[in-house]
Structure 1
Amino acid sequence: MADTTVKIDAGTRDTLQSLAKDAGLTVKAYLAKLAEEKEHARALDTATGAFRRVIDEPGVLDAFDSEFGGLLPIAHNTTRAA
């Protein structure tokens, strides 16, 4: 992939350099890792939303429990993603 240039203010550059250094990475590698992590988080948020919509459908959670032996009791009462 070809490199490109992005203009940012000096303060942001310094922050990115410091974060990259602390992670033992170049700024280029740090930004690539950050972009990958953010993309993963976005995909997880999308999947979590879809999962929540599905299990909110009447009968779906009961059918899942019947087919697969049920979730742990806390899974039915949490607002957090699995």
Structure 2
Amino acid sequence: MADTTVKIDTATRDRFAAIAAARGQSVRGYLAGLAIEEENQLKLGHATAAFRVAVARPGIADAFDRDFGGIPQRTHRAA
């Protein structure tokens, strides 16, 4: 894969470097993983929205509750 350059301020660069170091990763590896995580979160958000539209249809939520025990509650990530 070809390399490229992204211009960011030094404070942001230093923050990325500190986080990567704390995780035992290179900045390159950390940012690659971060990009994948963010893509997954976007996809999950789209899937959640589609699911909510689907279960809003009459009778679907009741059938889901009956068959699967209800819509999962949203969890909060610890900061």
**Band of TM-score, shorter chain:** 0.7 to 0.9
2:40 partner letter = H
Bigger Rg over Cα: 1
* Aligned pairs for 1:58-77 within 5 A: 58-64=58-64, 70-72=67-69, 75-76=70-71
1:80 and 2:77 are equivalent in the alignment: no
How many residue pairs were aligned? Answer: 75
d(CA) in 2 for partners of 1:18, 1:57: 47
Question: 1:79, 1:62 → 2: CA distance?
Answer: 16
Moved over 2 A (4+): 61-65, 78-81
Give 2:74's aligned amino acid: R
3-state SS, counterpart of residue 68 of structure 2: coil
TM-score by length of 1: 0.79
TM-score w.r.t. structure 2 length?
0.82
For 1:51, the aligned partner's letter is: F
Q: Give the CA deviation at 1:64.
A: 4.2
Q: Paired residue for 1:31?
A: 31
- The secondary structure found in structure 1 opposite 2:67 is coil
5+ residue gaps, structure 2: none
Matches within 5 A, 1:38-49: 38-49=38-49
Task: Please provide the CA RMSD for this pair.
Answer: 1.9
Q: Which runs of 5+ in 1 are unaligned?
A: none
